[in-house]
Amino acid sequence: MLFFKKKTTPVPLEERLVPQNLGIIMDGNGRWARKRGLPRQAGHVTGAQTFRKITKYCERCGIRYLTVYAFSTENWKRPQEEVDAIMNLLHQYLRESLADFQKENIRVRFIGDRAPLAEDIRQLMEEAEESTAHKEGMTLNIALNYGGQQEITAAARRLAERVQAGEITPADVTEESLQQALYTEDQPPVDLILRPSGEYRLSNFLIWQSAYAEFVFMEDILWPDFKESDLERAFAEFARRNRRFGGV
């Protein structure tokens, strides 16, 4: 486990080993705003801008899959005012990004339980997915009302229903079939999970997919301040890791 106290020198682009599948826990919006004497919502506004910038940069770096944690199944516990502000921002972001994503070679997918989300937001999510389905560049998974435990439970339930319907037998419940029943389906495992803001936990993010992921916790930065060079520091650290996957 590594965290950054001081900035390290960025590694030149050509020397970087870029992860194929990256997960980002976009954390620290509230603290960023509070430090400036602003309401927490202001942090979400700036955090959303950072998200757009970093997503495009990931595509240019050659990342194949990027999953960003935007709203967890636990985030409903926040004050209603903050939840409403996040949902409004999302609505606005989705409308703007429909045009924005057209210019990029990014395929957008949403992962998480959509049922509790407002109808207009669900509609925009579908539009974003449909209008970018043909893109061949990076796949961007936006985790919205996402929780790893909810995801695995829903996958297990789906397989149980198929057993009950006589389509498969209990022996067909394998790591592969469970993986296929997750929101991320046939995507490869996550290589690297990044979390700014100084929290050292997964907070229910991609718990199945990150079984062998590397973790880089960056305690010296909050998400709204996150820059391309911070991503490069994380890639440089990733390139130094010795991944053994249980072997020698």
Please, what is the minimum distance in Å from the beta carbon of residue 222 to ligand IPE? 7
The dihedral sign for the CA sequence 13, 27, 71, 99: negative
* Separation of alpha carbons 114 and 120, rounded Å: 11
**Residue 75 is a catalytic residue:** yes
DSSP for 151-204 reads HHHHHHHHHHHHHHTTSS-GGG--HHHHHHTSTTTTPPPP-EEEEESS--S-TT
Decide: is 55 part of the binding site for ligand IPE (CB under 6 A).
no
Stretch that binds Mg ion, among 19-27, 48-56, 82-90, 237-245 (CB under 5 A): 19-27
**Residue 29 is a catalytic residue:** no
**Catalytic-labelled residue, pool 21, 27, 29, 191:** 27
Per the CB < 8 A criterion, the answer to whether 26 and 231 are in contact is no
Stretch that binds ligand IPE, among 66-74, 89-97, 107-115, 133-141 (CB under 6 A): 66-74
* Separation of alpha carbons 206 and 122, rounded Å: 22
Residue 186: which region, alpha, beta or left (left: phi > 0; alpha: psi -120 to 50)? alpha
Could you say which of 25, 27, 85, 187 contacts Mg ion (CB under 5 A)?
A: 27
Decide: is 70 part of the binding site for Mg ion (CB under 5 A).
no
Judged by beta carbon distances under 5 to 8 A according to partner kind, the member of Mg ion, ligand IPE, none in contact with residue 159 is none
Please, what is the minimum distance in Å from the beta carbon of residue 125 to ligand IPE? 16
**Catalytic-labelled residue, pool 75, 100, 204, 220:** 75
In the complex, the residues that contact Mg ion under the rule CB under 5 A are 27
